[in-house]
Amino acid sequence: MLTENDVIELVCAELERNGFKIEQQLSTAQTGIDIEAISPEGVYYGIEAKGATSSKLESPRYGKEFNKSQVKTHIGMALVAAFRLKNERQNAEAAIALPDNFNHRSLVAEMHKPLSDSGIKVWLVNRDGIEKYI
């Protein structure tokens, strides 16, 4: 089960393999856009990440998969951050990176058309790589 920190690390590694320069990589202890990167073509990417479980050892949710209600909240928070980024930087690419599991995948599927229309990219992440879902 991936924590938010795992998702961030996996996304950054994938971006670097594809020639991106990582400008910012935050952890769950920090605030702001989780990943800021520049593509080989010079395009700015802001990526907000979420995990499938808590990254805090002391949390009662640590090691337990978030339920559907918690996933809805996390995706909502990620979308708010992505929309704010698009509002502040119209030429930026905004993405949310989510663990590739049943609850995240099904909720994203329920919003496929409006997500696609918004220009916000959705990346589903697992230990084997990233599926650019939208």
Distance separating alpha carbons of residues 28 and 20, to the nearest angstrom: 22
Q: Say if CB 32 and CB 80 are below 8 A apart.
A: no
DSSP-based three-state secondary structure for 134? coil
Domains of the chain: 4-132 (3.40.1350.10)
- Residue 117 is predicted with a pLDDT of 95
Predicted confidence (pLDDT) per residue in 58-98, tens digit:
777 778 899 999 999 999 999 999 999 999 998 999 999 99
Predicted confidence (pLDDT) per residue in 3-20, tens digit:
999 999 999 999 999 999
Query: Which residue in this structure is represented by tokens 């990167």?
Result: 37
- Residue 132 is predicted with a pLDDT of 86
pTM of the model: 0.94
What confidence category does residue 121 fall into, taking pLDDT thresholds of 50, 70 and 90? very high
Q: List Cβ neighbours of 121 (8 Å cut-off, separation of 6 or more).
A: 93, 94, 95, 96, 132, 134
Q: Which two tokens stand for residue 8?
A: 């961030």
